[in-house]
C-alpha cells in the first residue's frame, strides 16, 4: 500500500500516484476527480472548475504523443501482421483497415495519456504542483 503513495514530505500530505493517473485517464481533475481536466481537446484547464486546484503547472510537452505512438504502434503492427499472415489481403484492404484504426485510436488515446501524465506530475508535486517540492536548491548541493 505504501508503494502507491508518493509524497514530498511536506505538510500537505501524500498523494496517490495511481489514483491521480486514473483520474487523468478519465479526463478528470487529479485532485478531486470531479472537475474536467481539459477545457478543449488537449488544452488543460487553468484550474479545476470543481475544486479550484491549479492545473496550469503541467509540463507534458511531447511525452503524450510519444507514448501514444508507442501504444498504438504496438497494437496496430501486431494486428497488421496477424491479418496478413491469416488472410493475405490486398494492400487496399490494409489501407482501408489500418489508416482509420490508427487515426481513431491515436485521437482517442492522446488526451487520456496526457491526462495520466498531468495526474502523475500532480501526484509527484512536479513543476509547481507542490511549492515545497519545487523550492530551488541552495548550498553545496546546488553547485
For the stretch 68-97, pLDDT in tens is 999 999 999 999 999 999 999 999 999 999
Measured between alpha carbons, how far is 121 from 79 in angstroms, rounded to an integer?
Answer: 33
| Mean pLDDT, all residues of the chain | 87
Least confident of 56-60, 63-67, 109-113: 56-60
Mean pLDDT of 107-134: 88
**pLDDT attached to residue 12:** 53
| Secondary structure of residue 49 in the 3-state scheme | coil
More confident residue, 135 or 36: 36
Inform me whether the pLDDT recorded for 121 exceeds 70.
yes
Residue 128 predicted with pLDDT over 70? yes
Buried b (16+ CB within 10 A) or exposed e, 107-125: eebbbbbbbbbbbbbbbbb
pLDDT at residue 127 in the model: 87
With both helix axes pointing from N to C terminus, report the angle between 91-123 and 63-87 in degrees, rounded to the nearest 10: 150
Residue 66 has pLDDT above 70, yes or no: yes
Calculate what percentage of the chain has a pLDDT beyond 90.
78
Say how many CA atoms lie within 13 Å of 35 toward its Cβ: 19
The answer, yes or no, to whether residue 55 has pLDDT greater than 60, is yes
Tell me the C-alpha distance between 84 and 88, whole Å.
Answer: 5
* Residue 78 vs residues 68, 75, 83, 86, 115: alpha-carbon distances, Å: 15, 5, 9, 12, 26
Q: What average pLDDT does range 122-143 have in this prediction?
A: 64
pLDDT band at 130 (very low <50, low <70, confident <90, very high): confident
The model carries a pTM of 0.81
Amino acid at each position: 500500500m505504501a508503494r502507491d503513495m508518493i509524497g514530498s514530505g511536506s505538510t500537505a500530505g501524500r498523494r496517490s500516484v495511481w489514483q491521480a493517473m486514473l483520474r487523468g485517464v478519465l479526463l478528470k481533475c487529479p485532485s478531486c476527480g470531479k472537475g474536467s481536466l481539459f477545457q478543449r481537446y488537449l488544452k488543460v484547464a487553468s484550474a479545476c472548475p470543481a475544486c479550484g486546484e491549479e492545473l496550469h503547472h503541467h509540463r507534458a510537452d511531447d511525452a503524450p504523443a510519444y507514448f501514444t505512438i508507442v501504444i498504438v504502434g504496438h497494437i496496430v503492427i501486431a494486428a497488421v501482421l496477424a491479418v496478413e499472415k491469416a488472410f493475405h489481403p490486398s494492400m487496399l484492404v490494409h489501407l482501408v483497415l489500418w489508416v482509420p484504426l490508427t487515426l481513431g485510436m491515436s485521437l482517442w488515446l492522446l488526451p487520456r495519456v496526457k491526462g495520466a501524465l498531468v495526474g502523475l506530475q500532480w501526484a509527484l508535486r512536479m513543476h509547481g504542483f507542490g511549492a515545497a517540492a519545487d523550492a530551488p536548491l541552495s548550498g553545496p548541493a546546488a553547485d
